[in-house]
């Protein structure tokens, strides 16, 4: 497949913070839950079915909310370098946000899910602030709210446009969704994308939206652990799968398509190159599937440059996401070309630009010319 044929000369851009097209985004793709929902074992099928039904309701609610134009509370005039976190307990209901159980600066309590959510929000805030000078999700100090213990045996986590929500998992296939820090960071990055490029959640632009969350989700984990690009596991959701599942995570940036291969869960369908690009009407045109391609391009660029991936490679990706030139219906080739230009704009014609160009070429996207003069 020729990815370059998808690039167009002029694309539509969305104003930063335009919430009208913001999507309801979950960490577990619907195709995975659908596979589970057809399992012979009711202990596996029933939680998956209930999760799919709940996700459908939340997706509808999100669409209605954005059409009505709900406006978030005004941020402080001078954003603080400290997060403003509030954790709620939904108490196994679907009423949000639930009962407040921990505020900013409060001591840790006995509920491990509450403590992990609090720490994960803080780690995400810290990466964006320290690496990129961004104050919270919207860049202006937006409070970070999260609800844990959502519904019963809920097999997902999501960003609903205003807050994070975590299920406890069914204990059979998925464990508590607050366990992997990159799951929290992934969903919060959907908020960053919402307030910047607001990438349309369909096809290649939707896969880029998912990839941004995987990339920065992985970077938050690496930053929190102090891992270099070489030391990182490059997995999304490690520790989330229950013992009975044959797999290590939900996705792998290093080796897309290898995160799991399980009799019930199925096989990880992600491609790593455009040769295996999946054309499908499911999952909003394969947003969780084809995101493996830009994911792998980032991994290749980051490991080629070495050191801390959130520095040079992460900075380039962040520059494109927030720079104002990334259209909300961008295709892979559009994004790739902008990363080459961003690398040159920030670092000149050196190893950074070469590493980025070579990474995209390796996943099948080539002929990327610098556009610095047009920036």
Q: Is 373 left (phi over 0), alpha (psi -120 to 50) or beta?
A: alpha
Q: What is the pLDDT of residues 224-240, one digit of tens each?
A: 999 999 999 999 999 99
DSSP 26: E
> What are the domain boundaries of the chain?
3-15+201-235+247-374, 25-195
Q: Which of 69-78, 204-213, 342-351 has the lowest mean pLDDT?
A: 69-78
What's the CATH fold of domain 25-195? Elastase; domain 1 (3.10.170)
> What pLDDT is attached to residue 19?
41
Least confident of 20-29, 99-108, 155-164, 365-374: 365-374
Residue of 135, 186, 190, 288 marked catalytic = 288
- For residue 252, the Cα-to-chain-centroid distance in whole angstroms is 13
Task: Identify the H or E element spanning 65.
Answer: helix 42-68
pLDDT digits (tens, 9 = 90+) for 273-314: 999 999 999 999 999 999 999 999 999 999 999 999 999 999
Residue 352 has pLDDT above 60, yes or no: yes
* H/E segment holding residue 164: strand 164-166
User: How do residues 19-39 score in pLDDT, each as one tens digit?
Assistant: 434 578 899 999 999 999 999
Lowest mean pLDDT among 75-79, 131-135, 140-144: 75-79
* Residue listed under structure tokens 């632009």: 205
Q: Give the pLDDT score at 369.
A: 58
Among candidate residues 187, 210, 325, 352, the one labeled active-site is: 187
**Mean model confidence pLDDT for the chain:** 90
Question: According to the model, what pLDDT value does residue 72 have?
Answer: 47
pLDDT at 73 over 60: no
CA atoms of 315 and 302, how far apart (whole Å): 11
Domain 3-15+201-235+247-374 CATH assignment equals 1.10.390.10: yes
Please name the residues in contact with 213: beta carbons below 8 A apart, sequence gap of 6 or more: 25, 185, 186, 187, 189, 190, 193
Give catalytic status of residue 31 as yes or no: no
Same fold: 3-15+201-235+247-374 with 25-195: no
- Count of CB atoms within 10 A of residue 230's CB? 10
CA distances for 184 relative to 39, 138, 352, angstroms: 28, 16, 29
pTM, 2 dp? 0.91
Residue 38 CA: distances (Å) to CA of 42, 240, 250: 9, 21, 19
> For a pLDDT cut of 90, what percent of the chain falls above it?
83
Q: How many residues does the chain have?
A: 375
E strand or H helix that includes residue 319: helix 312-322
Q: What is the pLDDT of residue 77?
A: 62
Q: Can 358 be counted among the known catalytic residues?
A: no
């Amino acid at each position: 497949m020729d990815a370059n044929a998808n690039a167009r000369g002029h694309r539509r851009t969305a104003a930063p913070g335009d919430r009208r097209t913001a999507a309801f985004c979950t960490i577990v793709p619907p195709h995975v839950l659908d596979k589970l929902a057809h399992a012979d074992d009711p202990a596996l099928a029933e939680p998956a079915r209930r999760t799919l039904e709940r996700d459908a309701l939340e997706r509808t609610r999100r669409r209605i909310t954005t059409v009505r134009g709900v406006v978030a509370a005004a941020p402080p005039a001078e954003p603080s370098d400290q997060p403003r976190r509030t954790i709620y307990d939904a108490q196994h209901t679907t009423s949000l946000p639930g009962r407040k159980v921990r505020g900013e600066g409060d001591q840790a309590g006995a509920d491990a899910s509450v403590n992990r959510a609090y720490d994960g929000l803080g780690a995400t805030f810290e990466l964006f602030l320290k690496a990129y000078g961004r104050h919270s999700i919207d860049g202006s100090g937006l409070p970070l709210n999260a609800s844990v213990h959502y519904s019963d045996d809920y097999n997902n986590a999501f960003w609903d446009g205003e807050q994070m929500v975590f299920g406890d998992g069914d204990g059979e296939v998925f464990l508590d969704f607050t366990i992997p820090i990159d799951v929290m960071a992934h969903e919060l990055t959907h908020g960053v994308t919402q307030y910047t490029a607001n990438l349309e959640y369909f096809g290649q632009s939707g896969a880029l939206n998912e990839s941004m969350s995987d990339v920065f989700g992985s970077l938050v984990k690496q930053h929190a652990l102090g891992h270099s690009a070489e030391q990182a596991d490059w997995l999304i959701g490690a520790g989330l799968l229950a013992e009975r599942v044959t797999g290590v995570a939900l996705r792998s940036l290093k080796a897309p398509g290898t995160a799991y291969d399980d009799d019930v869960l199925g096989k990880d369908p992600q491609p790593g190159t455009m040769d295996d690009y999946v054309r499908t009407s499911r999952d909003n045109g394969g947003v969780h599937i084809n995101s493996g391609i830009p994911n792998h391009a980032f991994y290749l660029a980051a490991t080629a440059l070495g050191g801390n991936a959130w520095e040079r490679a992460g900075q380039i990706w962040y520059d494109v996401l927030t720079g104002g030139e990334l259209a909300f219906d961008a295709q892979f080739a559009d994004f790739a070309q902008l990363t080459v230009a961003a690398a040159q704009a920030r670092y000149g014609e050196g190893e950074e630009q070469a590493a980025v160009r070579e990474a995209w070429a390796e996943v099948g996207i080539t002929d990327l010319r610098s556009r610095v003069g047009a920036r």
